Chain A
Amino acid sequence: MSNRVKLKSAFKAAFPHTIPIFAGFWFLGMTYGIYMNVSGFSFWYPMLMSLTIFAGSAEFVAVNMLLGAFNPIQALTMTLMINARHLFYGISMLDKYHGNGLKDIYLIFGMCDESFSINYTADIPADVDRGWFMFFVTLLNHCYWFFGATLGGIFGSLIHFNTEGLDFVMTAMFVVIFMEQWMKEKNHISALVGIGVSLLCLIGFGSENFIIPAMAGILGVLTLLRRPLEKSEICDGGEA
């Protein structure tokens, strides 16, 4: 297969998977750009930040950091806390994001919630190059976010139309991804642990602080369940 054909087929296979992200990121990115705009920043701030950070929630929090007093250590620790869930993605992607040459570096750089979820669960056709498929998923998502944020930053205050509720597209996507995973696995213990522990922590710690305790709880419960889970061979999630 020539390189051009290979790229083309990977792009064609990847694009449909990113359509929900197109809707979601365009909207969230714009919201972020508008937020930066009304906070008094020129459009090139959201442009630069959407390009280099590419982690939605951290970027929203960064706006507040930029408006406050200079505290780089706090900026670093806050970001580590908000994005700690990426550690779990990395552990899950050790095999997939390996052996794709230099593309691996970009795949890891761009491993946001959405890129990870698609690249982990997508059934990539056998005749499509896996590395390039995952590369295009990540690149397209990155572009949507970048253009959304930049346009929001430029046109921020001029836009008026009723998009209330459009952000639900992200929730809907994660529900579908959760269901796809659910339909693939033989045993649902891990999925139920994820939902259950997260809900308990949300109730116990509140919406601002529940992620880290939820991660610790999930890790703890799954570690305790290691023997029974390995015995029942549930380890068939995704493609494994």
Chain B
Amino acid sequence: MTMTFTQQMITIGMVVLGTMLTRFVPFIVFPAGKDTPKYIQYLGKVLPAAVFGLLVVYCLKNVSLFAGSHGIPEMISIAAVIGLHLWKRQMLLSIAGGTVCYMLLVQFVF
């Protein structure tokens, strides 16, 4: 390790600062007392649906369609999650079912 202890703590401090900035800035820029601009209110309503889409893609970002298992275990398991959720609509069941399906596939099949 090339850094001194103080340098390590400063580096960790910077990561803390960066994370806190991304979390607190919207609340500081648009405080409760003042009227939030209509455009930001609009974004607050339409962004979540898009963000959940982004998060799904983010989780799958390292899946390669052209190498390894070609994303087949991921596709089968996501289909299992969707199927279970349409059928029973029990969050825990859908999540657990899909995860077990994925673990079995990557450990024993692919």
Please say whether chains A and B are actual partners in one complex: yes
List residues of A whose CB falls within 8 A of some B CB. 16-17, 19-20, 23, 40, 48-49, 52-55, 58-59, 62, 65-70, 72-73, 75-80, 83-95, 97-99, 104, 108-109, 111, 113, 117, 120, 162, 164-166, 168-182, 185, 188, 190-199, 202, 207, 210-211, 214-215, 218-219, 222-223, 226, 229-230, 234-235, 237-238, 240
Interface residues of B in 26-64 (CB under 8 A from A): 26-27, 30, 32, 36, 39-40, 42-62
State the CA gap A62–B21 with chains docked (Å): 16
Secondary structure of the A contact surface, majority rule: helix
Report A-chain residues with C-beta under 8 Å of the C-beta of B36.
Answer: 94
B: contact size bracket: 35 or more
Secondary structure of the B contact surface, majority rule: helix
Q: Give the A-B pair count, Cβ closer than 8 A.
A: 261
Report A-chain residues with C-beta under 8 Å of the C-beta of B14.
Answer: 72-73, 75-76, 79
Report A-chain residues with C-beta under 8 Å of the C-beta of B107.
Answer: 162, 164-165
Given A20-B91, A87-B26, verify A65-B11 contact (CB < 8 Å). yes
CB-based contact B77/A190 at 8 Å: no
CB-based contact A178/B52 at 8 Å: yes
Interface centre among A164, A193, A198 (most CB of B within 10 A): A198
- Which residue of chain B has its CB nearest to the CB of A39? B1
CB-based contact B61/A210 at 8 Å: yes
CB-based contact B32/A85 at 8 Å: no
Bitwise, B61-88 to A at CB < 8 A (1) or not (0) is: 1100000000001100110011001100
Smallest distance from the beta carbon of B95 to chain A beta carbons, Å?
4
Interface centre among B22, B46, B60 (most CB of A within 10 A): B46
Q: Which 4 A-B pairs have the closest CB atoms?
A: A194-B53, A79-B18, A90-B26, A194-B50
CB-based contact A202/B99 at 8 Å: no
